[in-house]
Amino acid sequence: MVRKKQALGAYSVTNRVNFDARYVLIDDVWTTGSSMMAACSELQKAGVEKISVVLLAKSE
């Protein structure tokens, strides 16, 4: 829960988005997923519909 609160507000869209483009977010390690979910949420708020996620490792 703490990590989720930390991730909120950590990301923002600072440029115009291309609504026809697919955005790919890459993360080195998925621990709680909070960072990736917060980043995706910000893109969705900006109107992006095509978002893919690439993870290099998952912690246990």
The residue length of the chain stands at 60
Mean local confidence (pLDDT), 1-21: 81
Of the pLDDT bands very low, low, confident and very high (cuts 50, 70, 90), residue 30 is confident
- Beta strands (DSSP E) in 1-60 are 23-27, 51-55
What is the rounded average pLDDT for all residues in the chain? 88
Nearest-angstrom CA–CA distance, 40 and 52: 9
Q: How high is the pLDDT of residue 7?
A: 73
Q: How high is the pLDDT of residue 1?
A: 65
The three-state secondary structure class of 28 is coil
Q: What is the pTM of this model?
A: 0.80
